[in-house]
Amino acid sequence: MENPIRLLSSRQVHEGRIVRLREDRVLLPQGSEAIYEYVEIKNGASTLAIEENGDVWLVREWKYALGRPTIEVVSGGLEPGESPADGARRELREEAGLLADELIPMGHVDPFTTMLRCPNHMFIARGLTHVPHEREEAEIMELLRVPLDEAFRMVMAGEITHGTSSVLILKAREWMKVRP
């Protein structure tokens, strides 16, 4: 599908370390003008680490923007020039103290497509080795080890609300049914 919207002008409103906000003046297909607010957040990687027995590692982390803790897979933003796989491995080590022999790509999600660009790449990590974690000061979290079926139940019950975590857990459960 071709883009039916024509950009007339663009104005950078804010550019921070993680978030950029732009305001675009556009021409719509029927000839009307409109303003689109466009938010870009640094790309991310999310990883579900799976032990040999099928248990998975999740993190319960305090999220400032929500004002409450959430349960998620290991996730984080990619550094400039960092590949999604390298970012996934770095975050896995930093947050969970895990190294993975195998990192299986599970695609990506676009969390909010109307006005936000922030692709989040998903991985399954296998062949885990435990090492000391290297969390940042603002990462207030604890590790949870649960069976994959329990993580699935938590998604379905609304106990896990992080979108990428939910998608990755659902995909991993199906992948585990047919994995070699």
Domain ranges in the chain are: 6-40, 43-178
Mean pLDDT, the chain, rounded, equals: 93
Residue 79: count other Cβ atoms within 10 Å of its Cβ: 11
If you average pLDDT over residues 66-95, what whole number do you get?
95
Please determine, for residue 157, whether its predicted confidence score (pLDDT) is greater than 70: yes
Please determine, for residue 45, whether its predicted confidence score (pLDDT) is greater than 90: yes
Q: Quick one: what percent of the chain has pLDDT higher than 70?
A: 99
| C-alpha to C-alpha distance for 55 and 8, rounded to whole angstroms | 52
Q: Strand runs (DSSP E) across the chain, as ranges?
A: 6-15, 19-27, 33-41, 44-50, 55-63, 68-72, 74-77, 98-109, 116-117, 120-130, 141-147
Chain segment 103-120, per-residue pLDDT in tens: 999 999 998 888 888 899
Please determine, for residue 64, whether its predicted confidence score (pLDDT) is greater than 90: no
If you average pLDDT over residues 123-127, what whole number do you get?
98
**Which CATH fold topology does 43-178 show?**
Nucleoside Triphosphate Pyrophosphohydrolase (3.90.79)
If you average pLDDT over residues 53-72, what whole number do you get?
94
pLDDT at residue 138, as a whole number? 76
pLDDT at residue 116, as a whole number? 85
| C-alpha to C-alpha distance for 2 and 15, rounded to whole angstroms | 29
If you average pLDDT over residues 21-47, what whole number do you get?
93
If you average pLDDT over residues 151-159, what whole number do you get?
98
Please determine, for residue 180, whether its predicted confidence score (pLDDT) is greater than 70: no
**Alpha-carbon distance values, 146 to 65, 93, 129, 131 (Å):** 26, 19, 17, 19
| C-alpha to C-alpha distance for 100 and 125, rounded to whole angstroms | 6
Q: How confident is the model at residue 179 (pLDDT cuts 50, 70, 90)?
A: confident
CB 93 within 8 A of CB 57: no
